[in-house]
Amino acid sequence: MLKSNLRNSIAATFRALPYFRGKYRLAPALLPLMTDYQNEQDCLVDIKLRDGSLMRIDLRSFTEQRAFFAGDYDGGLLKRFASILNSDSVVLDVGANVGFYAIALGRRLQQLGGGKLWSIEPVPTNYDRLLYNTQLNHLEDIVFPLQSALGNHTGTIPLHLGKGTGNLATTGNAFICQGNTATEIAPNCFAPITTLDALAQTHNITSCTFIKVDIEGAELDFLQGGQEFLARCRPIIYGEFSPYWCQEFGYSFLDVATLFSEWNYCFYQQVGRDRFVQVKAITPGLHDVLLVPQETSAEILAKLGASN
């Protein structure tokens, strides 16, 4: 108890400090010295992030650890994305995990007095925490969690959830067991899957301002399953597009670019923590990319930190 109290006090101090080099590396260095990973109560902690978001996190989860000391999760990017929202905005957080993006952007919509955010998360334990964090922040009228994966078909999919430190975390990153991973790593949970086009029709989603998608290689399947919706609504999209996971799924960013070039989109590569530079020559290994409709105003591009 003394160790965990000291740990929590140190972390709260560091969360209040501005970003500095090495801040994100504190968690793996200090947590093992002050945390009983066998004790779930010692590992589940409610914290306030620098933007005011309240989050319950599991200190055994690699995804959640860094926020405990850093006080944010992609904070610079989230400020950029929040800046383009208004009271009519509709946002999709695809691969919401425990809600770092959903809560931050949902709180911004709440401050603006309207809008909706659909947070899509297939892993049951992640989804349960997403629900908890949504309620913790009193966002039930803004953020609408859905337990599902989004791809290019409907049915059920096998997933493998990484178990984090000590193989004990109940939340964290997960991936679909297919291709090479299907023979190497067995699934440890299952989830329903549908398409974006079907989801939009079911929930009467008729517009969309912004989509964040981070689903460990399944991004192209998601985009293919939402072609009618994407072509009609023309949202700004931020996607991870990890070259490693894209390869596991048998494609590269060139396939994404081909799809969106038909819709007159421009592509911006992330540089640093919160800026983007337009890409003129598309290469297979692009990742952390902003997909922007050609008609997007200079004002919105400036808010996004996107330059030519």
Show which of 70, 86, 102 is a domain's final residue.
Answer: 70
Q: Which of 52, 85, 110 is nearest to 212 (CA)?
A: 85
pLDDT tens sequence across 27-49: 778 888 889 999 999 999 999 99
Is the pLDDT reported for residue 77 higher than 60?
yes
Q: How many domains does the chain have?
A: 2
pLDDT tens sequence across 210-251: 999 999 889 999 999 999 999 999 999 999 999 998 888 899
7 and 53, same domain (yes or no): yes
189: which residues sit within 8 A by CB, 6+ positions away? 123, 124, 125, 158, 159, 160, 161, 174
Please write down the long-range contacts of 10-13, taking CB distance under 8 Å and 24 or more positions apart. Answer: 11/47, 11/68, 11/69, 12/47
Spatial separation of the C-alpha atoms in residues 20 and 34, rounded to whole Å: 22
pLDDT tens sequence across 102-136: 999 999 999 999 999 999 999 999 999 999 999 99
Contact 291, 265 (CB under 8 A): yes
pLDDT tens sequence across 155-184: 998 888 877 666 688 888 888 877 555 446
Q: pTM of the full predicted structure?
A: 0.93
27 and 127, same domain (yes or no): no
137 and 20, same domain (yes or no): no
pLDDT of residue 166: 63
Show which of 45, 70, 95 is a domain's final residue.
Answer: 70
- CATH number reported for the structural domain that contains residue 198 in this entry: 3.40.50.150
Spatial separation of the C-alpha atoms in residues 247 and 244, rounded to whole Å: 5
184 and 64, same domain (yes or no): no
Full residue range of the structural domain in which residue 252 is found: 75-307
The CA R_g of the chain, rounded to the nearest whole Å, is 19
